[in-house]
Amino acid sequence: MSEPCDAAGRISDASLAVELFLSKDRAEAEKLAIKLCDINKDRQLEENRIAKEAYAYIEEQSCADNSVIILDNPSWHHGIIGIVASRISEKYSLPAILISFEGNEDPNDPEAIGKGSGRSVQGMNLVDAFSSCADLFEKYGGHELAVGLTIKKKNLAELSKR
């Protein structure tokens, strides 16, 4: 049941999972469980869509030849990109950072704010690497193998360069 509950927090309302756990009415609990499973199916579909787009871009642009894969897209759901970053990092044995500009009025505006998620490989500390680029982020945090970040569109090229 943890996967459907996790999906609720990623793409919907996590309070649904809380309601399920606190429900004393079996019929209500079943309705909530079905709803959470439906949300999880939506999350899986979205995750697979993002992964397919990311893999295609990586192959077309030969990004797997880079030391770090950094991708952005205005249509990617910011609650799911961390899962996809993990898949990419595992597949290519490289750190992967995915950034979503979802929700920006104009995602191409240099001042547009993106939310990102990064996953690393053993031996590459993302937080240490990000500290050398701290001036480019609005904020960031995490640990050796996983980070979250907020960055302006205008700083992406410099981030990729560094």
pLDDT tens track for 136-162: 999 999 999 999 999 999 999 999 998
Q: Which region among 8-12, 25-29, 64-68, 99-103 has the lowest average model confidence (pLDDT)? A: 8-12
Sheet holding 146-152, edge to edge: 69-73, 96-100, 113-119, 146-152, 137-143
Phi first, then psi, for residue 8 (nearest 5°) are -60, -40
Please check whether residue 39 is in contact with residue 67, taking contact to mean a CB–CB distance below 8 angstroms. no
Q: Which amino acid makes up residue 10?
A: R
Q: What does pTM read for this prediction? A: 0.84
Residue 1: band (very low, low, confident or very high) from pLDDT cuts 50, 70, 90: very low
